[in-house]
């Protein structure tokens, strides 16, 4: 894994024993999303590609599955991530994060409050989605380990239901977040956009369809991860 300044970290380290400012690079989101042929990807294939291509963090985001399936997939995803020292974050579910020993949980505004999630996951990361300065202020009051912000550009995922915020707004959020890392999300569909959000000050660039929709997911991840490193170091 790599820190935001591009320095390598131990392949056996995890989010739990890294400082808050170590979140960096490419933040890949893995789920049952469409591939280039329209068929849904196996989320574990996406996790494997993200880990093999150089993502520093993987978020497992599965919607509409039963709890046993989610727990099973999360356990297997964690093993894949652990093999290469990539941090695993579970979307929405603090209980699943705690049960499998994942490195963090990512929360939306309809999920557990960050303070309650912290009681469940202990010293694992707690990340919170934000979409404007007011939500950022509310999130920061709860002391998250990082915040997500977007959509930076229009997106085919749920963030696309909101107006695109743009790079200037992202830079303002980064400044307002202070020492709390910001993960940019929404419409980051190519390496050039990854580099642009990193230059705007984001600690990480979150990608979903840019990988799941690619014919070669590992190669797509490699190019996006390289852009995160070069964009963030310029």
Q: What residue numbers bound the domain in which 20 lies?
A: 15-126+185-233
CATH of the domain at 106: 3.20.20.70
- Which pLDDT value is given to residue 158? 56
- Which pLDDT value is given to residue 184? 98
Of 199, 200, 229, nearest to 53 by C-alpha is: 229
- Domain assignment of residue 52, yes or no: yes
- Domain assignment of residue 97, yes or no: yes
The number of folded domains in the chain is 1
- Which pLDDT value is given to residue 231? 85
The residues pairing with 104 across neighbouring beta strands, listed in sequence order, are 89, 125
Structure token digits, residue 116: 């309650």
| Sequence-separated contacts (24+) of 30-33 with Cβ below 8 Å | 30/58, 30/59, 30/60, 30/61, 30/77, 30/212, 31/60, 31/61, 31/62, 31/63, 31/208, 31/212, 32/62, 33/208, 33/209, 33/212, 33/213
Distance, CA of 22 to CA of 211 (rounded, Å): 23
- Which pLDDT value is given to residue 111? 95
- Domain assignment of residue 213, yes or no: yes
pLDDT tens sequence for the chain (234 residues) = 333 333 333 333 444 444 344 578 999 999 999 999 999 999 999 999 999 999 999 999 999 999 999 999 999 999 999 999 999 999 999 999 999 999 999 999 999 999 999 999 999 999 999 999 999 999 999 999 999 999 999 986 654 467 899 999 999 999 999 999 999 999 999 999 999 999 999 999 999 999 999 999 999 999 999 999 998 665
- Domain assignment of residue 150, yes or no: no
- Domain assignment of residue 36, yes or no: yes
Residues 24, 79: contact at Cβ < 8 Å?
Answer: no
- Which pLDDT value is given to residue 162? 73
Name the CA radius of gyration of the chain, rounded. 16
């Amino acid at each position: 894994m790599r820190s935001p300044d591009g320095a390598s970290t131990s392949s056996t380290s995890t989010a739990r024993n890294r400082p808050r400012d170590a979140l960096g690079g490419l933040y890949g989101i893995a789920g049952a999303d469409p591939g280039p042929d329209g068929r849904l990807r196996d989320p574990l294939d996406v996790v494997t590609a993200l880990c093999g291509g150089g993502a520093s963090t993987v978020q497992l985001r599965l919607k509409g599955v039963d709890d046993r399936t989610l727990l099973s997939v999360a356990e297997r995803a964690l093993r894949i991530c652990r093999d290469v020292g990539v941090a695993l974050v579970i979307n929405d579910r603090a209980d699943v994060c705690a049960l499998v020993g994942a490195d963090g949980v990512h929360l939306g505004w309809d999920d557990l409050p960050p303070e309650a999630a912290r009681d469940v996951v202990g010293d694992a990361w707690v990340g919170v989605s934000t979409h404007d300065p007011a939500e950022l202020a509310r999130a920061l009051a709860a002391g998250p380990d990082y915040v997500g912000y977007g959509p930076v550009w229009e997106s085919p995922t749920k963030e696309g239901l909101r107006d695109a915020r743009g790079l200037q707004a992202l830079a303002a959020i980064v400044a307002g977040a202070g020492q709390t890392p910001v993960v940019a999300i929404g419409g980051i569909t190519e390496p050039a956009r990854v580099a642009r959000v990193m230059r705007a000050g984001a600690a990480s660039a979150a990608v979903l369809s840019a990988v799941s929709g690619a014919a070669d997911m590992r190669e797509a991840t490699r190019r996006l991860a390289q852009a995160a490193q070069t964009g963030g170091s310029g």
